[in-house]
Structure 1
Amino acid sequence: MHSLLTHQLARVTDNSGDVDVAALLDMVSQAYTEADLDRRRTDHAAQVMCQEMEQLNTDLYRLAHRDALTDLANRGLFHEVMARQLARAQDEGDSIAVFCIDFDRFKNINDTFGHHAGDLVLKQAAERMRKAARDCDTLARVGGDEFLLLQIAISQPQGAAQLANRLIKELAEPFDIDGHQTYIGGSVGIAVSPADGTNVDELIRNADLALYQAKEAGRGTFRFFEPAMDLRMQERRIVERDLRKALPAGEFELYYQPTVNLASNRISGFEALIRWNHPERGLVAPNIFIPLAEEIGFIVPMGDWIIRQACATAAQWPDDLSVAVNVSAIQFRNPGLAQVIVSALAASGLRPTRLEIEITESALLQDKDTTLAILHQLRALGVRIAMDDFGTGFSSLTYLQCFPFDKIKIDRSFIKDITENAGSLNIVRSIAALAHGIGMTATAEGVETEDQLRSIISEGCTEMQGFLYSRPLPILEIERLFLSKLRVQGIAAHTVAA
């Protein structure tokens, strides 16, 4: 500013060297005004920069501690809050409860409506759960559809049970997706300090074990942690370890159950069903190891083995017998499935028309386009396709429009009550008529009595399968009881024709 004043001073000095005082005062005032404006501009810029830094710090904190979609706490913040509240509870002699919450059918939302719809449901669900809890409780999203909730200062487990019921009730209500209503439901596992754990990791782990048991109990419910759950989880880990060893150890075996044509009363084929011969446990039930295999992804190599083994075995049967193999939704997500089937047919020499692939509606629900593309590939080869457990899903009829199935297998739940329940009888009648009208085979599953057999025949079913005719049996028994007789009949028929 000094150089500026020197320059301006020369402008207000006349030829005699006298200074124009008024002009000088005006000049000084102007200089100070400009200097003040410069200072103000500098202060404003500094203020803006400070505000931007504060906002950046706020944003960074939110990114580090909050879930971007729901604005709930994330795992890191939940652990911090829980550690503080656990220390407080230990000092004051009260309890906290940790809830593990998981949606029951959320994946179907993503697969059916897309991830945008899934995000809408997550936001709605988060808001409902937030309202069900108290302001002092902490709700966090820690995974896709996985949530943790911390309930503080509880004196009795009943308070945790009441909150769990509120959460389940809220999640059971329909969700609106762009004008469409859909349902997910939820399951809850609860661990309470100090009985179920004295540190953050232990309590969350035990709440997760309780959640697993809630899902095992049928979903849409809650369970408190019990020490026996830990033992069951350890047992599950042992079974998982043994399951992974079973394939290379040759412990799997295929059993076969006959399918009978009701018009000719002759066997038309066999369904291949896997069994596990454990070296110590003996025969392990399929309902124990198959869900576990699906959960850990082992169903893919196990399913590949089933396809190859079934084709190789069926290739030794009379030419008019088919073999059916169940293929899970997880196998259809494996891009190599079609090639596995093609390779199994080529290696065994089995005609494609003698192989039948059975799928359930869940395979189409989870990735409809990919599954249909694979089905069309297989159908082009000549492989027959059957929809299993027909009538139990919400969209069974819709899928019949998407793909020309060769066979509908009517779920055993309808056959079980067919002689006592008019509703079941009408459903079987309708499915059989539908199959007949569009040129499909209608197979009744789970036929166990003569009365059931008479009912399915009168209602127009094409085939039957069930304990009334035969249980699933190992191949040596199938050979002894059925195949040897069929071969003799085939030779006799060929001799007569000749």
Structure 2
Amino acid sequence: MSDANPYRRIKFQAAALFICMAGLLTISMLHILRDNAGRVLRSHADQSAQSWTTYFTQVTPDLETLIKTGQPDAATIAKYREASKINHIKQFTVLNAVGRPVYTFNAQLPDNKHPTSFSFEEARRKLSAQLVQRMIGVKVANQNKSVVNAAIKPILQSGMAIGALHVVVDQSRLNSVFLEAAFAGGWDILVLINLVLLACWFMFLLVKRAANAHREQVNRIDELTGLPSRTAFMQELDDALARTDTKSRKTAVMVVKIDRFRELNELLGHDGADTILFEAAKRLMNAAKKKGYAARISGATFGMTFPNLASATAASDIGDEIIQTLAEPFMCRGKHIQPKASIGVSLAPDDGTDAATMVKRADIAQFIAKEHGGNQLMFFDPDAASKFARKHELENMIINACEGQLFQLFYQPLYDLESRQLKGFEALIRMPDGSGGMIPPDQFIPAAESMHKIGEIGAWVLFEACRTANNWPTSVSIAVNLSPLQFDSGNLISDVKQAIELSGLAPERLELEITEGLILDNNESIRQQLEEIQAMGIKIALDDFGTGYSSLNYLWRFPFDRIKIDRSFVVGMDESEQAKRILKTIVDLARTMNMPITAEGIETEEHLVYLTELGCHVGQGFYLGHPQPDTEVAATLINNFRITKADAATELPHEQTPARLTIAG
């Protein structure tokens, strides 16, 4: 289970580190004090040994005789014993010129008893090397474990070493005094160091707290505009909601977004865009100075809250004033700028009682206001929000489908109505809905067009349809629908060429369908693109002919190879004789212009018989065949070649096609 407060663990770790550092310093200090004490005691022993050697040469009547015989007289021994007490000499040994001990004096032992820890060989070596003036640092232990140090000093006569003294100095009392003083001072130093460390630790905590406070303050203020940040806005909104009397008053939350800010950014550059944001922030701050609270919550989006309003009308009036205030023109980089904004409003307690919900719903209302043209105010509406959520979900599905190439093509067969032979297929795009079903194009294509994704989708459809059709018999064609926006993208010609080249499909087997709405403006660019496509050998069909924009002028001014009658006329002839007359008129017109006709929406045998007698060349519809995935196209192709022309008069193609799908064409 994770720690609820991640900083608590850091504090514990820091405290443990502090204790370890203090412990290490304590141990280090103890080692230093011990080493210093040893050096001081050895130095004192050396000095004491030298002093005793000087005293020894002075009080001993005949040094040469003592060194030879090792027998001092009683008076001299008494002097040794008396002086040793004063100088803390525990023991000394007289060595002859070759380092052999000849006499030993010990304050606690009988005369001439040598301590077992003494090395005579070392003394001889020191003497022979003339190094006896240096302290050898031999520590001598005795029965009561007193602190002692030994040193060897030469006995000089006329500047020549005639022997040596091995002096053992009792330093127990001095050691106690020294350690008491040293450790007292050492502990003071140690306490001082730990106090300094503790002070540094607290200073670190204070600096950290100050830095966190500064960071929090920075996070609460937007650096560019000087307005409160999103964090501060959410806190203020929570406070305002808590203070509002929800029984009789309302709190309005507004999300204000500058319209077309991306275009302004491209026009004026980043500095110019920052100027617009700064000016907008200043105006919003003035608008909220007496009545509410304003903040910059992201990019070109601002948040405002107005507590204790009497009604929604009061919020609407405030919003209208803000729109008018923002729209006042000003100069920016030599250009007159008139910012416009979309405002979404949510009201508490009607739309929510917490800050997150209120801001989210005001933001949804702002998006809806922007979709309706911008520069207006919209209140949050649950129904509109539900539609917005579905639209947003659909847009996400389109994005995922484009990125993962999840779209699928279904193929609806086209039959020659006279011979009842298969002529080709029309490619119809579908998008998976994520639950095993398919979304038809009339539901997601408009959204894809508004998202500027239709060019990408259209290029994929072209290539995939051509690639699949290239595996069919050469007599079977493929028809693909084009969106008007593909003509505006400037990439249509290259997309068509690439689809043909990469798939290997013969151009004459491809037919591209466009709607009448595309040619309503009589655009010369569209006519040129159609002619360039036609020059490749590709056929052009006018789809949904007769649905409102048809004109004889279009038929002779634009290069069409085929007319497709909209299915609404075919389905309508069951109930209207007028529909039949319109159908006859369209067929007669196409026959006069020597232009083939395809009838859509054939759903009954009566439709098939009437359109055949009327003179339609090609037909499609559920009666002839449902849209099917490419895995089922092969069965349709096989069944088609089993049908002879003689059999076609009495046996309809749909009876040999696979089971019909439930997806509408």
Q: Give the TM-score taking structure 1 as reference length.
A: 0.57
Match of residue 206, structure 1, among 356, 365, 368: 365
Match of residue 247, structure 1, among 376, 383, 402: 402
Task: Give the Å deviation of 1:234.
Answer: 3.3
Instruction: Report the counterpart of residue 427 of structure 2 in structure 1.
Output: 272
Aligned residue runs from structure 1 range 413-492, under 5 A: 413-480=568-635, 482-486=636-640
C-alpha change, 1:227 and 1:92, in structure 2 (3 Å) is closer
3-state SS of 1:258 partner? strand
Task: Give the Å deviation of 1:282.
Answer: 3.5
Task: Give the Å deviation of 1:358.
Answer: 0.3
**8 Å CA contact retained: 1:95, 1:192:** no
Instruction: Report the counterpart of residue 93 of structure 1 in structure 2.
Output: 310
C-alpha change, 1:92 and 1:229, in structure 2 (3 Å) is closer
Instruction: Report the counterpart of residue 341 of structure 1 in structure 2.
Output: 496
3-state SS of 1:333 partner? helix
Q: Aligned AA for 1:399?
A: Y
**8 Å CA contact retained: 1:329, 1:366:** no
Q: Could you list the runs of 5+ residues in structure 2 that have no partner in the other structure?
A: 1-278, 293-304, 328-338, 645-665
Partners of 2:506 and 2:424 in 1: CA distance: 14
Residue deviations 1:404-433 (CA, integer Å, cap 9, x gap): 311111111111111221221221111111
Deviates more, 1:429-438 or 1:363-372: 363-372
C-alpha change, 1:138 and 1:382, in structure 2 (3 Å) is same
Instruction: Report the counterpart of residue 563 of structure 2 in structure 1.
Output: 408
Partners of 1:266 and 1:81 in 2: CA distance: 76
Deviates more, 1:264-273 or 1:421-430: 421-430
Partners of 1:147 and 1:392 in 2: CA distance: 38
Task: Give the Å deviation of 1:314.
Answer: 1.1
Instruction: Report the counterpart of residue 259 of structure 1 in structure 2.
Output: 414
C-alpha change, 1:192 and 1:260, in structure 2 (3 Å) is same
Task: Give the Å deviation of 1:209.
Answer: 2.6
Task: Give the Å deviation of 1:83.
Answer: 6.3
Partners of 2:505 and 2:562 in 1: CA distance: 20
Aligned residue runs from structure 1 range 21-420, under 5 A: 93-96=310-313, 195=350, 205-206=364-365, 208-209=367-368, 225-280=380-435, 282-365=437-520, 368-420=523-575
C-alpha change, 1:92 and 1:300, in structure 2 (3 Å) is closer
Task: Give the Å deviation of 1:250.
Answer: 3.7
Task: Give the Å deviation of 1:467.
Answer: 0.5
Task: Give the Å deviation of 1:325.
Answer: 0.2
C-alpha change, 1:241 and 1:92, in structure 2 (3 Å) is closer
Q: Aligned AA for 1:322?
A: S
Q: Aligned AA for 1:318?
A: P
C-alpha change, 1:483 and 1:226, in structure 2 (3 Å) is same
Task: Give the Å deviation of 1:488.
Answer: 5.9
Instruction: Report the counterpart of residue 208 of structure 2 in structure 1.
Output: none
Q: CA RMSD in A?
A: 4.1
Deviates more, 1:85-94 or 1:372-381: 85-94
Task: Give the Å deviation of 1:468.
Answer: 0.8
Task: Give the Å deviation of 1:385.
Answer: 0.3
Residue deviations 1:42-61 (CA, integer Å, cap 9, x gap): xxxxxxxxxxxxxxxxxxxx
C-alpha change, 1:409 and 1:82, in structure 2 (3 Å) is farther
Deviates more, 1:450-459 or 1:426-435: 450-459
Q: Aligned AA for 2:495?
A: V
C-alpha change, 1:255 and 1:404, in structure 2 (3 Å) is same
Task: Give the Å deviation of 1:391.
Answer: 1.0
3-state SS of 2:446 partner? helix
C-alpha change, 1:204 and 1:312, in structure 2 (3 Å) is closer
C-alpha change, 1:90 and 1:330, in structure 2 (3 Å) is same
Q: Aligned AA for 1:428?
A: L
Instruction: Report the counterpart of residue 245 of structure 2 in structure 1.
Output: none
Q: Give the TM-score taking structure 2 as reference length.
A: 0.44
C-alpha change, 1:237 and 1:397, in structure 2 (3 Å) is same
**8 Å CA contact retained: 1:353, 1:383:** yes
**8 Å CA contact retained: 1:258, 1:470:** yes
Partners of 1:268 and 1:351 in 2: CA distance: 15
Residue deviations 1:467-489 (CA, integer Å, cap 9, x gap): 01111001121211x21234567
Task: Give the Å deviation of 1:319.
Answer: 1.6
Q: Aligned AA for 2:407?
A: F
C-alpha change, 1:76 and 1:373, in structure 2 (3 Å) is farther
Across the two proteins, how many residue pairs are aligned to each other?
334
**8 Å CA contact retained: 1:89, 1:95:** no
Partners of 1:98 and 1:363 in 2: CA distance: 43
3-state SS of 2:626 partner? coil
**8 Å CA contact retained: 2:364, 2:380:** no
**8 Å CA contact retained: 2:362, 2:379:** no
C-alpha change, 1:147 and 1:294, in structure 2 (3 Å) is same
Q: Could you list the runs of 5+ residues in structure 1 that have no partner in the other structure?
A: 1-74, 100-132, 151-189, 216-222, 491-498
**8 Å CA contact retained: 2:530, 2:559:** no
Residue deviations 1:277-326 (CA, integer Å, cap 9, x gap): 35445423333322221111111111111101111111121222110000
